[in-house]
Homo-oligomer: A and B are copies of this chain.
């Protein structure tokens, strides 16, 4: 392995055995030396969770000729331990995914895939999360791989800020039907939830989360618009969640 090659960390939230991470590893290998560090079990919806009250375990495995570690923690744990403990040097790029399911709009804050990418950018490493709008284990990643290759190539060859973080969502279409790439903002939207209430054999109630996504945004500059119109959406992401629009309205609290 040449040390002149870029070092690329591949992570995900669907777990080390998900087809999506294999699809992404295959593309990442074209650009340099690859190390995979991914959760040992599915970690969808883990958001920016980290393991504070417990310990982490790592297991080295061989994965399609690539050095890989399964990690007992969350997607963000995988990035932290890879960057701060496992890797021989700071990686040049972190790619997360390819997620089985979209992470557009508000899903970005629940997504382990995107939280891992954001964590990478917090460590000063350009990071990209890729998600395909198809939850199936049998999803076809061909078009997603095609666009992942284009975008990785640009990010690795362009001198952006080290804190760049991209949320890339690919519509579930064949390559020929995708219009192209669109730079977007995060659409305003939300989940309307319900809980499916069931009773276990001991007579105790338990609940499954169910819900449907509601778009609350008519903009034609959003990731939801792009996906609906057959574009690959690219939303640049950053960690400041301050609401700068409301500061004036609550200024009077300072008089309390």
Chain A positions near chain B (C-beta within 8 angstroms)? 42, 44-53, 55-58, 74, 76-77, 80-81, 84-85, 106, 108-110, 115, 118, 122-123, 150-151, 154, 160-161, 164-166, 180-183, 185-186, 188, 190, 193-195, 197-198, 204-209, 234-247, 249-254, 256
Whether B253 and A243, one on each chain, are in contact in the complex, defined by CB atoms closer than 8 angstroms, is: no
Task: Classify the interface of chain A: helix, strand, loop or mixed.
Answer: mixed
Query: With A53-B44, A208-B55 known to touch, is A185 a contact of B244 (CB < 8 Å)?
Result: yes
Whether B254 pairs with A182 at a CB distance below 8 angstroms is: yes
Q: Complex: how many Å from CA A161 to CA B249?
A: 10
Contact assessment for B57 and A204 in the assembled complex, using a CB-CB cutoff below 8 Å: yes
Known: A58-B205, A164-B246, A238-B243. A44 touches B48 (CB 8 A): no
User: 11 extra interchain contacts, Cβ-Cβ under 8 A, other than A49-B110, A56-B208, A185-B244?
Assistant: A42-B53, A44-B53, A46-B47, A47-B50, A48-B48, A49-B74, A57-B206, A160-B246, A181-B256, A182-B254, A238-B241
Please state the number of chain copies in the assembly: 2
Q: How far is the CA of A198 from the CA of B54 in the complex (A)?
A: 13
4 closest cross-chain pairs (CB), A and B: A47-B48, A238-B243, A236-B243, A47-B47
